[in-house]
């Protein structure tokens, strides 16, 4: 009886709201794709290989006991249908709450962070941080989305540090590149406010801001989050306005420059340019859908060089959360942590891009099982997580740091800092050419460190002892090679092909573990990579011109000349 009554009421309501009725019609994927450009669905698969293949076609979001939750755009879904797998279409997570629950309040003035702001409120809020704390932060627009919305960072640092440039290590948080995963969006706004308002109040926050160059981007996919308009996050999409998954759109260590076979989206390009201009030591990419800290790699089974460090750092994150949250929170996979590939493999993700191509340490933080939780629960998520979020920022200060300088001039050097018998897959770091500073978080142990710079003799410092929680400083001076020995190195246009080159450059002199740098005619190093025998160097991002290729392999240095078309 009760049931019938409810059914009658529901029927009545849907009759009044034709749009809602459409949304519930399961099987109307065409309608959903037409209205939203993406579908959310689930299917059953226990076949890892099948999932790996499907992962190149659709966006696997999370997996719960062999039930796979996924998103697809029109092209991806058409290809998924060919698999013949049975599926269930799901209501978009951003339409789970009623529209009224998502009407924005006045975030900051209320003193509570239990609202999702309108897009204008968000933009004003970001501006207000700079207005209220001009000596502590700047708002930086790194580029535009497909629809021309700004991709905004708040850059927090003591003004002295902001003026001096990178004399302290750079740290980055970025959230919500999947537009419908909004928990981190609000937590990042809250974090910015917390840091700024506690400078000079809480000694630990003052010390953090004084010693870390902090970059926070609360909303990496504004077009997705405000897919239904600037007024509300209701109806947010995972994908950007071109219906592309931004977290599958990055160059991949294993699967090449365009693993999703889409061009780089404006959001992706803006972010890659931004990351290339900076030297992030440690960062984190925030999502929702699960409750877990997911560490590298996502694309392949090989373990990261710093696997022990990653497990320790993620364990710390999860354990600190557990100490301050309900028992059921943040316990997915191995009690809140997982190796990315062990969970399921993805290609083109931001995490692997940052680790492999930017020599950074980044993990993916999945903050809540519910993608767009009730606004009322947001301050709870803050309470569970803020200590862990602050602790993780301290990782940039751990391990080893120092300067690399030239023996005669004392000038700073751009040098590779390589942990021997340890570093692989670009886990090494580089010192900054402007001030010679390098930062290398690394797990407790005794390491041999090799320092190499162009035109200088490499130096190996043996048996450097690192203890967790006790960072050490190691300043290294490198001796310049004599001009005679540099002249002896033959600059030859041979053995490089194709020449001129546009995309990929091969060289017969590449051997396993070669450190290859590209130097422009002004003598500036514009690219450095480790390239193995038979592998290609990607030079697509270089401006056209004449370059030198410098290949360091053991004690041998070879210079080759080539032309970029």
The nearest distance, CB 359 to Zn ion, in angstroms, is 24
Q: Which is nearer to Zn ion, 181 or 352 (CB)?
A: 181
Beta bridge partners of 90: 40
Does 267 qualify as catalytic in the annotation?
A: no
Q: Which is nearer to Zn ion, 217 or 403 (CB)?
A: 217
The first and second tokens of residue 372, run together, are 């767009």
Question: What track of x and - describes contact with Zn ion for positions 150 through 179 (by CB under 5 A)?
Answer: ----------------------------x-
The nearest distance, CB 247 to Zn ion, in angstroms, is 6
CB under 8 Å to 22, separation ≥6 — which residues?
A: 28, 31
Q: Which is nearer to Zn ion, 150 or 183 (CB)?
A: 183
Which residues ranging from 497 to 526 are in contact with Zn ion (CB under 5 A)? none
Which residues ranging from 396 to 425 are in contact with Zn ion (CB under 5 A)? none
Q: Which is nearer to Zn ion, 172 or 177 (CB)?
A: 177
The nearest distance, CB 346 to Zn ion, in angstroms, is 10
Alpha-carbon span 222 to 241, nearest angstrom: 9
User: In the bound complex, which residue of the shown chain has the CB atom lying closest to Zn ion?
Assistant: 287
Alpha-carbon span 236 to 251, nearest angstrom: 26
Alpha-carbon span 561 to 488, nearest angstrom: 15
Alpha-carbon span 188 to 113, nearest angstrom: 10
Q: What angle do CA 550, 555, 559 make, to 5 degrees?
A: 20
The nearest distance, CB 369 to Zn ion, in angstroms, is 12
Q: Which is nearer to Zn ion, 108 or 178 (CB)?
A: 178
Q: Are 346 and 60 in contact (CB under 8 A)?
A: yes
The nearest distance, CB 238 to Zn ion, in angstroms, is 7
Binding Zn ion (rule: CB under 5 A), the pick from 62, 248, 287, 456 is 287
Question: What track of x and - describes contact with Zn ion for positions 174 through 193 (by CB under 5 A)?
Answer: ----x--x------------
Closest CA to 441 of 316, 347, 555, 275: 316
Contact stretch for Zn ion (CB under 5 A) within 287-295, 486-494, 513-521, 524-532: 287-295
| # binding residues, Zn ion (CB under 5 A) | 3
Which residue reads 């950007």 in tokens? Answer: 240
Backbone angles phi, psi at 84, to 5 degrees: 75, 5
> Can residue 350 be called a binding residue for Zn ion (CB under 5 A)?
no
Q: Are 384 and 291 in contact (CB under 8 A)?
A: no
Alpha-carbon span 233 to 93, nearest angstrom: 11
Active-site residue among 181, 366, 398, 416? Answer: 366
Q: Which is nearer to Zn ion, 178 or 440 (CB)?
A: 178
CA–CA distance from 535 to each of 96, 379, 506 (Å)? 48, 49, 7
Alpha-carbon span 361 to 427, nearest angstrom: 8
The nearest distance, CB 49 to Zn ion, in angstroms, is 23
The first and second tokens of residue 40, run together, are 């959310």
Strands 280-287 and 361-366: what pairing? parallel
The nearest distance, CB 289 to Zn ion, in angstroms, is 6
Q: Which is nearer to Zn ion, 39 or 476 (CB)?
A: 39
Contact stretch for Zn ion (CB under 5 A) within 208-216, 279-287, 381-389, 397-405: 279-287
CA–CA distance from 353 to each of 185, 283, 527, 538, 542 (Å)? 21, 12, 16, 14, 18
Residues in touch with Zn ion (CB under 5 A):
178, 181, 287
Catalytic center residues: 366
């Amino acid at each position: 009886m009760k049931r019938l009554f409810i059914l009658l009421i529901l029927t009545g309501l849907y009759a009044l709201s034709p749009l809602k009725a459409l949304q519930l019609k399961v099987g109307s994927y065409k309608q959903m794709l037409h209205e939203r450009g993406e579908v959310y669905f689930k299917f059953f698969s226990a076949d890892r290989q099948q999932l790996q293949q499907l992962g190149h076609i659709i966006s696997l979001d999370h997996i719960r006991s062999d039930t796979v939750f996924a998103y697809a755009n029109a092209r991806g879904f058409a290809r998924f249908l060919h698999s013949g797998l049975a599926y269930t279409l799901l209501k978009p997570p951003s339409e789970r709450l009623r529209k009224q629950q998502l009407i924005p309040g006045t975030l900051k003035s209320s003193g509570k962070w239990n609202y999702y702001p309108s897009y204008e409120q968000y933009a004003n809020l970001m501006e207000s941080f700079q207005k209220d704390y001009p000596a502590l932060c700047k708002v930086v627009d790194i580029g535009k989305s497909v629809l021309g919305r700004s991709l905004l960072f708040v850059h927090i640092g003591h003004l002295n540090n902001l003026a001096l440039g990178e004399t302290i290590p750079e740290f980055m948080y970025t959230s919500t590149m999947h537009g419908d995963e909004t928990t981190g969006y609000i937590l990042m706004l809250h974090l910015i406010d917390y840091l700024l308002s506690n400078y000079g109040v809480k000694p630990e926050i003052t010390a953090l801001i004084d010693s870390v160059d902090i970059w926070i981007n609360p909303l990496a996919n504004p077009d997705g989050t405000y897919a239904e308009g600037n007024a509300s996050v209701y109806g947010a999409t995972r994908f950007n306005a071109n219906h592309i998954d931004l977290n599958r759109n990055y160059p991949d260590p294993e699967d090449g420059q365009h693993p999703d076979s889409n061009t780089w989206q404006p959001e992706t390009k803006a972010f890659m340019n931004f990351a290339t201009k900076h030297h992030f030591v440690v960062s984190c990419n925030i999502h929702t859908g699960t409750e877990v800290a997911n560490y590298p790699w996502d694309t392949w089974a090989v373990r990261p060089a710093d696997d022990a460090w990653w497990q320790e750092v993620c364990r710390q994150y999860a354990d600190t959360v557990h100490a301050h949250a309900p028992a059921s929170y943040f316990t997915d996979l191995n009690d809140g942590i997982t190796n990315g590939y062990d969970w399921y493999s993805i290609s083109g993700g931001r995490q692997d891009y940052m680790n492999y191509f930017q020599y950074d340490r980044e993990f993916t933080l999945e903050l809540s099982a519910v993608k767009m939780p009730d606004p009322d629960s947001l301050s709870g998520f803050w309470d569970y997580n803020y200590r862990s979020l602050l602790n993780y920022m301290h990782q940039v200060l751990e391990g080893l740091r120092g300067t690399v300088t030239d023996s005669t001039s004392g000038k700073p050097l751009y040098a590779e800092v390589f942990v021997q018998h340890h570093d692989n897959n670009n886990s090494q770091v580089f010192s900054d050419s402007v001030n010679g500073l390098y930062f290398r978080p690394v797990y407790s142990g005794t390491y041999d460190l090799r320092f190499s710079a162009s035109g200088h003799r490499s130096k190996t410092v043996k048996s450097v002892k690192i203890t967790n929680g006790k960072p050490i400083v190691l300043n290294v001076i490198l001796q310049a090679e004599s001009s005679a020995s540099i002249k002896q190195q033959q600059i030859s246009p041979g053995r490089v092909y194709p020449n001129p080159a546009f995309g990929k450059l091969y060289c017969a002199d590449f051997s396993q573990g070669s450190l290859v740098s590209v130097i422009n005619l002004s003598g500036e190093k514009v690219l450095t990579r480790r390239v193995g025998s038979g592998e290609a160097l990607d030079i697509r991002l270089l401006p056209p011109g004449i370059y030198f290729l410098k290949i360091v392999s053991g004690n041998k240095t070879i210079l080759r000349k080539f032309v970029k078309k």
